[in-house]
Structure 1
Amino acid sequence: MKNLKEKFINFLTDGPKVRDLAQESHENKLTFYAGVIYLTLHRVFRYAIAILAFLIFLLVGFGSGYAVGIVRQTPIPTVTQLDRPINHSQNSATLYYSGSQKIAKVNSDITIDKATDAELTPLVKKAVTATEDETFYEHKGVLPKSLVRAVLSEFTGIGVQTGGSTLTQQLVKMQFLTSQTTWRRKITEMFYAHKLEQNFSKETILRAYLNSAPYGKNNNGENINGIKTAAKGIFGKDIKDLTLPEAAFIAGLPQSPSVYTPYTVKGKLKKDLSLGMRRKDIVLFRMYRNGDITKAQYESAKKYDLTKDFLDPGTPKKQKKQNSYLFNLVMNKSSEIIANNLIEQDGLNPTDVKKDTNQYNQYLASATQLLHEKGYTVHTTIRKPLYKAMQTAVAQSSLGESHTSQDYDQSTNKYVNTTENVENGSVAIDNETGAVLAFSGGVDFKNSQINHAFDTYRSPGSSIKPYLVYAPAIEHKIISSQTAIADFPKNYGNYIPTDYNMTIENRFIPAQEALAKSYNLPAVNIYNKLLHTRGTNEQATMKKLGFNLSKSEYQNLGLALGGTDYGFSVADNASAFSNFYNNGNRSSAYYIDKITDPTGRVIYQHHTKKTKVFSQGTTYIMQKMLHQVVKNGTASSLKSSLQFSTKSLIGKTGTSNDYRDIWFNGATPGVTISSWIGYDNFYGHSYTLDTNSSETNLQLWANIANALYQEDPTIFDLNKKMTKPKSVYENRVVKKTGTLPGTVNFDGEDYRISGKKVTALSLSPAPEANSEFGIGASHKDYRLFYDYLDDIDNDYGKTLLYTGKTISKKRNLDDLFTVANGNPSNDEYYGKENNVNNKGSSTSEQNVGANDQQANSGQGSSGNGNDDKSTSDNNSTSTTPEEPAATSPNNNQTNAGNEQVTGDTNQ
């Protein structure tokens, strides 16, 4: 037992010392154990001190490394970059067109008049340094305690304290960083301050601080920065004429300008000035304590009645509002970009932050404040001559009737007079880069501030067909340009699409003609085939084009006619269409090219990223097909309106139900121009465009294109041609079937497929003659066709008209249609719109593919429409206007719903 006690004592303590103590006091056990405890605690305390010192060393070392890592994410500006905000600072952002032409200098929320070194008297310098930073002339920009506090705040979770910052740090916060009190911003601020102290004199730093500090409001109610502005705006004096109490009052304002300022937002003196006076006395005391003034001066200034020196209220200056489609567009997008930059500086993910609306709005507010208060520069892609030319073209074009009415405004609980104009949204983008060269946001900004080029979403109508229907079908070798597409009455589970004027062509139509004249039924039949062909993925294709539609929208056959839930913006539609002249690549539309911070450092630079959507072969074929829209289709009137060659012009028209939305996407090798017209329909109105509105929009498009061409014809790149890729087959096929000639057997009878031939373009060899050669046809449709070949008098190729009846168990599909009294002629319908109200073309999910008796895909080769001199097939080929497709519930317009029959004018 005795040996164990000794071992225990030796283990806990210094053995020899304890043994000596035990020998001297072996009879006093209490004294013995007291000594053991004392020596043990002494040893433990020494170890604890050593461990704590080691931990502090690790903490400081790790914290310093961590701080350096933060700064690496946001590199410290160069001396030249630091000089700009110090000696040449701007108090708000400047927006630029492409190049160096200025859009506008953002109105600052702050009035400022900067002082020179000569104007800064020793009195104001002493007042400020004694109050804000009494060791200003001794430190190197940062006090060590500030660094320790910032590092500890990160690892302890205790928020960063803003007190104790040096004047240099405060200058950094005002001129270089945001006012957010995060530890990351605080550490960055310290590194900035240290570099400032290394490269600029104390007098330069102090002058920059005094010219940047906030001083509340002046007697006009304006926010003021800079001590010279404060002296003038509060006391009506130059700096050199300020008295001691006046200088002390001004020096105390920056700590809390809104609290200590003597004036209200209207420029009136506050009724209670006690807080500001108390702050003034604190400044005087610190000057006295610092030895800058005597006790007598301190007492005298403290007793002085300063209220009699304040200026009387003045008259606020009216600042011109900076509102325009261009200014608002650039400011809003710049705020988003800078907000994302601030989020990333805080080590957060913008996508995650945006899920918290309140948090994201705080960042947006900070970003907007920076644009109004600091010298950012924003460079856009908008070219001033082109932008001005487009505005003039739109202003000089007559788009349709304006409607004036008296409506009840729920926000004001009053009736107001409103005017609804036919609005326009137009965009011109560079095909290769996606840069927006010019745009039109509307026809009258004072009447409507909505930017119709970027911020409204409308049903695309048939303008969706090229990239949703025809290009994917070519890409997947489902069709060629001459594949026969069925245009016969068809019931897709009570969804019965029709062409213009509720008509049916009642024949097979070559794909190229169907696209050029924008027939509805062929588009729906092709789209249905795409949905049921293995290996196709319409959702993936559209996502590459920039559209994020729901799964239910893709299952809706009406999507082939523009039946979306929310619609597309003009910019998005233009961007998607531009891929056909960008080798099948899509470059996202953008208009902010670069943003620099107050130091001149680039914080955002756009980098064009191309997304491959379609192969070069598909692109080449689509160019040939879409040119037919301009050559002899729904946009053929452009040929007589344009002041440049249309040989390389491609396009697609689009119309939604009841003429609510009219579109035209047109492109040359260099540029895509998209134009939309329609009503906003506020206050529950349901105004629609007239039946000639498609021609109106085409003329508007021509006016815009001509105006841009006159300014800079090079953007059109008219002489650029695409060489036919090796992947494209060029074959001669029979026009009526889209196949090679041959003999086929149908219902036990042989038929010779022959007649007029056309050149077909496709990504696969021309299909051999087969009995079921088309897409979307039923056995009954083929029977009609072959009887027609046998010269049996039937209704093949005769236009059918919807009778207005509804389908039922007692009534079959044939009962819904009758042969029209006289087929519409080319002259009657050429380039015109439907003159009846049409039903919605949207369908529900259950309608997809119902009762479909799909024929063979007919993977034939496509053609360029050049017929040879063989015999004609005598098919009816009436030229048609555009079809209004399904509308979308956007901008106060509601979807027409799932009607049984849809007939859209073909555009």
Structure 2
Amino acid sequence: MKNLKNKIYDFLTSGSKVSDLAEKSDESPFTFYCGVIYLTLHRIFHYAIVIAAFVLFLLVGFGGGYALGIVRQQSVPTVSELNQQINHSQNSATLYYANNVKLTKVNSDVKIDKASDSEITPLVKKAVTATEDENFYTHHGVLPKSLVRAVISELTGIGVQTGGSTLTQQLVKMQFLTSQTTWRRKVTEMFYAHKIEQNFSKEDILRAYLNAAPYGKNNSGENINGIKTAAQGIFGKSISQLNLAQVAFIAGLPQSPSIYTPYNSKGEVKKDISLGMRRKDIVLFRMYRNGDITKKQYNDAKKYDLKADFLEPKKVTPPKKQNSYLYNLLMNKGSELIATKLIEQDGLDVKEIKKDTNRYNQYLSNASDLLHQKGYKIHSTIRKPLYTRMQRVVKQATLGQDKTSRDFDQATNRWVNTTEHVENGSVVIDNTTGKILAFSGGVDFKNSQVNHAFDTYRSPGSSIKPYLVYGPAIEHGIISSKTALADFPKNFGNYIPTDYNSTIENRFFPAQEALAKSYNLPAVNLYSKLLHSNINLRSDMKKLGLDLSKSEYKNLGLALGGTDYGFSVADNASAFSNFYNDGKRQDPYYIDEITAPTGQIVYKHKQRSYKVFSEGTSYIMQKMLHQVVKNGTASSLNGTLQFDDSTLIGKTGTSNDYRDIWFNGSTPGITISSWMGYDNFYGHSYNLESNASETNLALWSQIANALYDEDPSMFKLENTIERPASVHKFKVLSKTGTLPGTVNFDGEDIDLTGKETTALSLRPAPRASAEFGIGATHSDYQLFYDHENGESNDYGHTLIYSGKTISKKHKLSDLFSAADGTSTNNEEYYGRRTNVNSRESSNTERQVRANDQQARSGQGGNNNAANNGNNNNQTANNANGSNSNANPTNTNEANSNIDSGNPNENNAQPNQ
């Protein structure tokens, strides 16, 4: 045979054919061929072993290196942090006002009563270790096979399984991590387990496990954690009083508490508890196999009638609901931020996960569970004294008439009596940091849980003018503070905007006065000029936190608040705050920090600043917006404020038919924004009274006074704003906004002289020009110059718009008539648009956002989704606090039309 092997090896190393070598061999050809096959396979087998060993070495090396990389990315907990979490951790989150002032401890959805070392009997220890971790007293926290299995699972794509985890690993998962079993989470789990084993005794670890493990439900239907709670809630006994069968049953519950628990959510014993009983028998068998009990004890415990020991159902008083505007705000946002952290810990892309609604909702659910079951701490920026005073002011204010009706509730399929109150949403923001210092979510949380400060989106009305129209015009040198803006009848392709009460002033206005008294037509003319100047308004608005679509910018009605979706009060306040922050806007925020139960910071707000306008533009806008308060649409504030208002700037806003009322007001330190309106549930279209703007200003004054009384320093009234070197200050003619001089109009030389005023601009003073204004036509200039020459004409005489559009039979002038008396100039109208399709599409998107917020709230029907200001069905609360479907007001006020006889006309509407 040896001779045969040598010949075969000769063959394998030579170039001879097998047939030639076989003929020369002393063995039979069959024997020779078999020998060749055997030795070939033998060699291949050895090669395979070597290759497999090499591959395994690479896998282990790669997996170990990868695991080490993950571990290095983890913040290393101290022994004190580990001890705090496994032995002294709270079972729910705590919410804080600013400056570490406690708001409330979140009601835990788990009942727990921890056991001491002396209460945990040897029988319990044997049952748990025999069932869950028979090597508990010999391993060092992690079994090597767990790491190998995790590496292979990750590399092969089979997935990571939890089977084989030690008790220490299970403790880590319960106290430090979520229940998800990704590769990164598994490696972190092993790392923590190893460190715990290094610093704590086995008895400490076992006690911590028994106090943290979930045991299903008790006879009151409550979720229970901890073996002491389980003994009391299932059998009504202390741990020391439990017999073998009872111990075995409880010891088996943590593997799958929801399945093995004997009780349902009502505290009633399930009809089928066979799975739990089978699990009990498995525990008994493992104890017997492990030598912890005798065969007789095993058999007797199996036959024991355990069902007879289960407690009868018991009703308990549910904990008081913690819903409030602030509580819901912090819990919802906290869940979002923790969910983001969990996604990042799993090495996934947050934006991609959010595209997968189901997957993202699972992370949100996990985050909500953590807040209700773990000792997280959420620190907000909301200052308790300011918040408390603000709630009191708003609740005591009289904002308008209640609207009562009888409506059909689709949710309950019955008719209900409903009462809607005038609602308010207000926000106080620090200009420099973006911190939300206080807010008012509504008049009465019991009546409506919609947070009107953050979750409703309403037409901003003319409050949009400073940062969409006048700010950019100043920034790009198109106007000075005294540039003349035209307020003459004008047709923009069947869009005929007017001022208050369908009037036209039929004259030129200095930009500062047009803004202060919020005339509409000058703003539309200026916005049209901006659009034709190819200025990237969308970029500036995004920096202000206001993301509008490209199509919205094409509509001139946007200059007067005609948006598709509208803005929240927080959005509006944040945008307006830039004027007292050198043209920079800070991202608004109300959660400053979130810490994990270990004390480690899992979220810390990072300030982001967006430069929108130059310091020069900010300075000029401050001077212009102060006139709004001094002698413009907010002049009723004069005499009502308990502080120096010389640095106060502001802007009013009113959507059509007094549907939405706004006021943004800023001092050098803070911005306070206030909105008023009805929710308009059930498809109602309630409008505010004509004096609603004055009511809102009075409310704003009361809020500002209360805040000033609490903390004057945050207003920073002592801050003096010096004129930047970039701002030119010069004298111009009041009537033209230019330097005096001789101009030629229609071949006639005209000397422009007269009263002068001080103007501010980023460019030098403009020279005299025949066509000096923005938005005027040749006939408008003719009217002006004829008036200057002493002719008696309609220049400066208020005209009233008939509401009709131009036809072949009519000229633009035919649509206006002289007004009787003088017009009131403290309100505005904005033009309506007729693009109903865009409104419908916005409803769908807004409803999705509303539903998503309600799903995240974790507060059930009492934490309503955002009222989105659109015609969509949404949960609301009637006067009795019951849930009802509603149709909130449509934010796109520009889409409707007051002239029912001409539904396709683009008529102008009020907008302050």
Same fold (TM over 0.5): yes
Contact kept? 1:745, 1:771, Cα under 8 Å: yes
The offset of 1:903, in angstroms, is 3.9
Q: Distance in 2 between matches of 1:682 and 1:381?
A: 32
Q: Distance in 1 between matches of 2:896 and 2:721?
A: 42
Q: Distance in 2 between matches of 1:311 and 1:220?
A: 10
In structure 2, the partner of 1:301 is 301
In structure 2, the partner of 1:614 is 613
| Aligned CA distance change for structure 1 residues 844 and 527 (closer, same or farther; 3 Å) | farther
The offset of 1:805, in angstroms, is 3.6
The residue type paired with residue 893 of structure 2 is: N
Q: Distance in 1 between matches of 2:910 and 2:48?
A: 88
In structure 2, the partner of 1:791 is 790
| Aligned CA distance change for structure 1 residues 6 and 767 (closer, same or farther; 3 Å) | farther
The offset of 1:72, in angstroms, is 3.1
Q: Distance in 2 between matches of 1:121 and 1:500?
A: 82
Contact kept? 1:76, 1:191, Cα under 8 Å: no
The residue type paired with residue 631 of structure 1 is: K
In structure 2, the partner of 1:566 is 565
Contact kept? 1:839, 1:901, Cα under 8 Å: no
In structure 2, the partner of 1:841 is 832
In structure 2, the partner of 1:72 is 72
In structure 2, the partner of 1:557 is 556
Q: Distance in 2 between matches of 1:23 and 1:523?
A: 108
In structure 1, the partner of 2:842 is none
Q: Secondary structure at the match of 1:341?
A: helix
The offset of 1:356, in angstroms, is 1.3
Q: Distance in 2 between matches of 1:199 and 1:543?
A: 52
Contact kept? 1:520, 1:904, Cα under 8 Å: no
The residue type paired with residue 417 of structure 2 is: N
The residue type paired with residue 641 of structure 1 is: T
| Aligned CA distance change for structure 1 residues 116 and 814 (closer, same or farther; 3 Å) | same
The offset of 1:33, in angstroms, is 2.6
In structure 1, the partner of 2:812 is 813
In structure 2, the partner of 1:880 is none
The offset of 1:186, in angstroms, is 1.4
Q: Distance in 2 between matches of 1:447 and 1:395?
A: 12
Contact kept? 1:840, 1:897, Cα under 8 Å: no
| Aligned CA distance change for structure 1 residues 76 and 150 (closer, same or farther; 3 Å) | farther
In structure 1, the partner of 2:441 is 441
Q: Secondary structure at the match of 2:103?
A: strand
Q: Counterparts in 2 of 1:338-377, with a 5 A limit?
A: 338-377=338-377
Deviations 1:273-307 (A, max 9, x none): 32222211111111111111222222222222222
In structure 1, the partner of 2:889 is 892
Q: Distance in 1 between matches of 2:140 and 2:911?
A: 75
The offset of 1:7, in angstroms, is 11
Q: Distance in 2 between matches of 1:393 and 1:304?
A: 66
The offset of 1:368, in angstroms, is 0.7
* Identical counterparts, % of pairs: 71
| Aligned CA distance change for structure 1 residues 490 and 551 (closer, same or farther; 3 Å) | same
Q: Distance in 1 between matches of 2:815 and 2:146?
A: 84
Q: Distance in 2 between matches of 1:49 and 1:317?
A: 67
In structure 2, the partner of 1:323 is 323
The residue type paired with residue 753 of structure 2 is: S
The offset of 1:208, in angstroms, is 0.7
Q: Which runs of 5+ in 1 are unaligned?
A: 846-886
Contact kept? 2:663, 2:697, Cα under 8 Å: yes
In structure 2, the partner of 1:211 is 211
Q: Distance in 2 between matches of 1:140 and 1:655?
A: 69
Q: Secondary structure at the match of 1:191?
A: helix
In structure 2, the partner of 1:758 is 757
Q: Distance in 2 between matches of 1:614 and 1:7?
A: 92
In structure 1, the partner of 2:883 is none
Q: Distance in 1 between matches of 2:906 and 2:170?
A: 70
Q: Distance in 1 between matches of 2:766 and 2:42?
A: 99
Q: Secondary structure at the match of 1:425?
A: strand
The offset of 1:190, in angstroms, is 1.1
Q: Counterparts in 2 of 1:21-420, with a 5 A limit?
A: 25-420=25-420
Q: Distance in 2 between matches of 1:732 and 1:892?
A: 47
Q: Distance in 2 between matches of 1:645 and 1:720?
A: 12
In structure 1, the partner of 2:652 is 653
The residue type paired with residue 335 of structure 1 is: S
Q: Secondary structure at the match of 2:895?
A: coil
| Aligned CA distance change for structure 1 residues 888 and 617 (closer, same or farther; 3 Å) | farther
2:715 corresponds to 1:724: no
TM-score (norm 2): 0.91
| Aligned CA distance change for structure 1 residues 7 and 744 (closer, same or farther; 3 Å) | farther
Q: Distance in 2 between matches of 1:582 and 1:79?
A: 45
Q: Secondary structure at the match of 1:640?
A: coil
Contact kept? 1:483, 1:774, Cα under 8 Å: yes
Q: Secondary structure at the match of 2:638?
A: helix
Contact kept? 1:500, 1:906, Cα under 8 Å: yes
Deviations 1:383-440 (A, max 9, x none): 0000001000101111000111110011111001111110000000000111100000
2:451 corresponds to 1:454: no
Q: Secondary structure at the match of 2:64?
A: helix
In structure 2, the partner of 1:673 is 672
Q: Secondary structure at the match of 2:164?
A: coil
In structure 1, the partner of 2:853 is none
Contact kept? 1:889, 1:895, Cα under 8 Å: no
Contact kept? 2:500, 2:825, Cα under 8 Å: no
Deviations 1:116-159 (A, max 9, x none): 11211111111111110010010111111111111111111102
In structure 2, the partner of 1:548 is 547
Q: Secondary structure at the match of 2:438?
A: strand
In structure 1, the partner of 2:732 is 733
Contact kept? 2:379, 2:591, Cα under 8 Å: yes
The offset of 1:34, in angstroms, is 2.3
Deviations 1:310-342 (A, max 9, x none): 222211331211111111111111111111111
The residue type paired with residue 166 of structure 2 is: T
2:622 corresponds to 1:623: yes
Q: Counterparts in 2 of 1:577-656, with a 5 A limit?
A: 577-656=576-655
Higher deviation after alignment, 279-288 or 293-302? 293-302
Q: Distance in 2 between matches of 1:210 and 1:166?
A: 13
Contact kept? 2:245, 2:302, Cα under 8 Å: yes
In structure 2, the partner of 1:854 is none
The offset of 1:197, in angstroms, is 0.8
TM-score (norm 1): 0.91
Q: Counterparts in 2 of 1:419-498, with a 5 A limit?
A: 419-498=419-498
Q: Secondary structure at the match of 1:99?
A: helix
